[in-house]
């Protein structure tokens, strides 16, 4: 993702932990983006806890990774 976006662009990451279809792929991608020192993360939307979800609603999180100047 970072290579495709380029170091000078933001990366927007929408994900949901434990999503059955993708196993732990979302967590792996999020961990890699978080560890990249060229980006700063900002939580934009936080998923709704499962106990508060409506039937059929799938909670998600949205994180914006912005390039760090320097």
Beta carbons within 8 Å of 27's beta carbon, 6+ residues apart? 17
Which is nearest to 47 in space by CA: 21, 23, 16? Answer: 16
User: Which pLDDT band, with edges at 50, 70 and 90, does 66 fall under?
Assistant: very high
Give how many domains the chain has, as a whole number: 1
Both tokens of residue 56? Answer: 């059929």
**Which pLDDT score is estimated for 49?**
61
Q: Give the global pTM.
A: 0.73
At 1-60, the pLDDT tens digits run 777 877 789 999 998 877 778 888 889 999 999 998 888 999 988 776 666 656 666 678
Q: Who wins on pLDDT, 55 or 63?
A: 63
Distance CA 42, CA 8 (A): 16
**Structural domain of residue 21, as residue ranges?**
2-67
**Which pLDDT score is estimated for 31?**
92
Both tokens of residue 32? Answer: 């890699």
Contact in structure between 13 and 28 (CB atoms under 8 Å): no
């Amino acid at each position: 993702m970072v290579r495709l976006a380029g170091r000078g662009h933001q990366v927007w990451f929408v994900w949901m932990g434990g999503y059955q279809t993708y196993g732990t792929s979302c967590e792996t991608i999020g961990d890699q983006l978080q560890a990249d020192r060229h980006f700063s993360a900002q939580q934009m939307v936080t998923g709704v806890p499962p106990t508060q979800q409506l039937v059929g609603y799938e909670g998600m999180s949205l994180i914006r990774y912005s390039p760090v100047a320097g």
